[in-house]
């Protein structure tokens, strides 16, 4: 099952995709695993044994609490998906259990890939001057990949603000299986483009 659309998917088409998507397409033992520290996930032997590859990108996007708060707002409004070839409905709430579609244009047709928010984490320590906000989403039936992806923004103890993407995935359809090298390249390209979209929002 693949959800295709020949024009930019409308809200109604995205809703229909979500209704048909059903449940998660990866094992419950890995549910929420993307909330772990990056090094822990990269060293998780059970993930690698089950065929999952970890993808990670982390970029410095500014400094100071104001930048952090603006970055947090960017994630909450899906500005990190503000691309010509990929988007998420900006009205989608960042809440655990919410289902949504990532819409991606590949050559001619658009792909609608259903996911569900698995968790939302926020931490703040005013005494130490650090803060972080992030959320992880898991793939549903009909997604070309199986796994999770976390987007987060962090203010560290050096007053620097970092944008991070962390995911683990494996092919869930023969199209992604035969084209997995291309999928991995697209993940890296998305990370670069998404970081630029966040920086653009922060500098606006």
- pLDDT recorded at residue 127: 86
Treating both helix axes as pointing N-terminal to C-terminal, what angle do 180-203 and 65-76 enclose, rounded to 10 degrees? 130
Q: Where are the domains of the chain?
A: 4-203
- pLDDT recorded at residue 183: 87
- pLDDT recorded at residue 24: 97
Q: Where are any strands of DSSP class E within 18-144? A: 53-63, 86-87, 99-105, 110-125, 130-139
Question: Quick one: pLDDT band at residue 46, thresholds 50, 70, 90?
Answer: very high
Q: What's the whole-model pTM score?
A: 0.94
Summarize pLDDT for 72-118 with one digit per residue, the tens: 999 999 999 999 999 999 999 999 999 999 999 987 789 999 999 99
Average pLDDT of the segment spanning 39-59: 95
Fold of 4-203: Alpha-D-Glucose-1,6-Bisphosphate; Chain A, domain 4 (3.30.530)
Q: What are phi and psi of 35, to 5 degrees?
A: -80, -10
Average pLDDT of the segment spanning 39-45: 93
User: Is a pLDDT exceeding 90 seen at residue 178?
Assistant: no
Mean model confidence pLDDT for the chain: 94
- pLDDT recorded at residue 202: 95
- Taking 3-state DSSP, the helix, strand and coil percentages for the chain, each rounded to the nearest 5, stand at 35, 35, 30
Summarize pLDDT for 132-153 with one digit per residue, the tens: 999 999 999 999 999 999 999 9
């Amino acid at each position: 099952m693949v959800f295709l659309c020949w024009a930019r998917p409308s809200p109604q088409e995205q809703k229909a995709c979500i209704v048909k998507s059903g449940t998660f397409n990866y094992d419950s033992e890995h549910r929420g695993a993307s909330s772990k520290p990056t090094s822990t996930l990269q060293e998780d032997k059970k993930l690698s044994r089950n065929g999952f590859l970890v993808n990670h990108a982390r970029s410095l996007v500014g400094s100071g609490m104001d930048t952090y708060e603006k970055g947090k707002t960017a994630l909450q409004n899906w500005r990190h998906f503000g691309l010509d070839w990929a988007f998420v409905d900006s009205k989608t709430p960042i809440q655990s259990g919410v289902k949504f579609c990532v819409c991606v244009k590949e050559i001619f047709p658009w792909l609608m890939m259903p996911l569900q928010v698995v968790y939302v984490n926020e931490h703040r320590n005013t005494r130490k001057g650090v803060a972080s906000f992030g959320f992880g989403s898991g793939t549903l039936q009909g997604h070309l990949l199986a796994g999770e992806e976390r987007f987060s923004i962090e203010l560290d103890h050096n007053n620097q603000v970092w944008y991070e993407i962390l995911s683990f995935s494996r092919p869930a359809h023969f199209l992604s299986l035969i084209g997995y090298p291309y999928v991995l390249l697209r993940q890296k390209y998305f990370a670069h483009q998404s970081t630029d979209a966040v920086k653009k929002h922060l500098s606006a």
